[in-house]
Structure 1
């Protein structure tokens, strides 16, 4: 597809995500969490073979708590975001495109590891994480007329942890496989 027509569509797929950056020392670590994403997109033609593709996605991310030992009180860390990727697409050949751009995420919910305040009282897990997440997306997509398929990697660049609760610095890292439908 050449960047000549405005397109709107829906998409969804599989996320394989983990929290990168600081991890627990020793025999425990963060493992991948397999979840999903779903949402809408628009492809806006620019010039020649370039277009801009903003998206609005619900994305289930986070990590599983893993490693050699399991530890009481530590569960899978489920972080669910409303993500807004803003991608520049380059149409390499008919149907095949490369995409690159920022991903802005807003934390909708956090469920997992139990978090305690200074008095030892359990608090809402969402308070332990920053509301805003920023990353960079790099991917490829292929279009068969109205049907689209793609692979994408979102590399987190901002710390997901609230500094009031931990000095660890972690980022969302998400590999996505997706399919979509474009309303021409």
Structure 2
């Protein structure tokens, strides 16, 4: 999996930089408000956690950019007194369109790899699929000095439930607020 992500990033950066006018690298961190949606999830509650990672913005034209990211994202949900923590390595591939200078809308697919899952210290990784696919939608604002802010919604499209005896479908549902800096 690590080799696949690395090769994918090399290909993305290599192909995109040939078209690019400018490439910037940076880092970002933020807050996640996560839960699961799907069958019989009305008792599931949102958990608040975090995300952190590295980003690159590849300018294709004055108005359009491509922004691949590699993010650690702590997600999950709670029900009653139980908190299920799902730790992902996510690869969002965002297309950004600048409405005005600094203000952009963004959308793109995301693949996630489940690093671990626990329920109050007990390993429950076998209850969840190793891979997660989703689609992101968001808004961002970038200052001239490199400081940037973003709000994003990740709509899970794949079932993360791995338990065969549980016929319910569960999908990640994550709202994110982040701050970052391009070097």
More helix by share: 2
Match of 1:95 in 2: 102
Tell which structure's C-alpha radius of gyration is larger. Answer: 1
Specify which structure has the bigger relative contact order, considering alpha-carbon pairs within 8 angstroms and separated by 6 or more residues. Answer: 1
Following superposition, the deviation at residue 48 of structure 1 comes to 3.9
Matches within 5 A, 1:142-181: 142-145=141-144, 146-181=146-181
Q: Secondary structure at the match of 1:158?
A: coil
Q: Secondary structure at the match of 1:172?
A: strand
2:73 counterpart (51, 59, 64): 59
Match of 2:14 in 1: none
Match of 1:36 in 2: 50
Following superposition, the deviation at residue 166 of structure 1 comes to 1.8
Matches within 5 A, 1:75-86: 75-86=82-93
**Coordinate RMSD, CA, aligned:** 1.8
Match of 2:24 in 1: 7
Q: Give every structure 1 segment of 4 or more consecutive aligned residues whose post-TM-superposition deviation is greater than 6 Å.
A: none
Using structure 1 for the length normalisation, give the TM-score: 0.83
Q: Does 1:130 align with 2:129?
A: yes
Distance 1:52 1:165 in 2: 41
Q: Which 5+ residue runs of structure 2 have no aligned equivalent?
A: 1-19
Structure-2 change in CA distance of 1:46 and 1:7 (3 Å): same
How many aligned positions are there? 163
Q: Which 5+ residue runs of structure 1 have no aligned equivalent?
A: 115-122
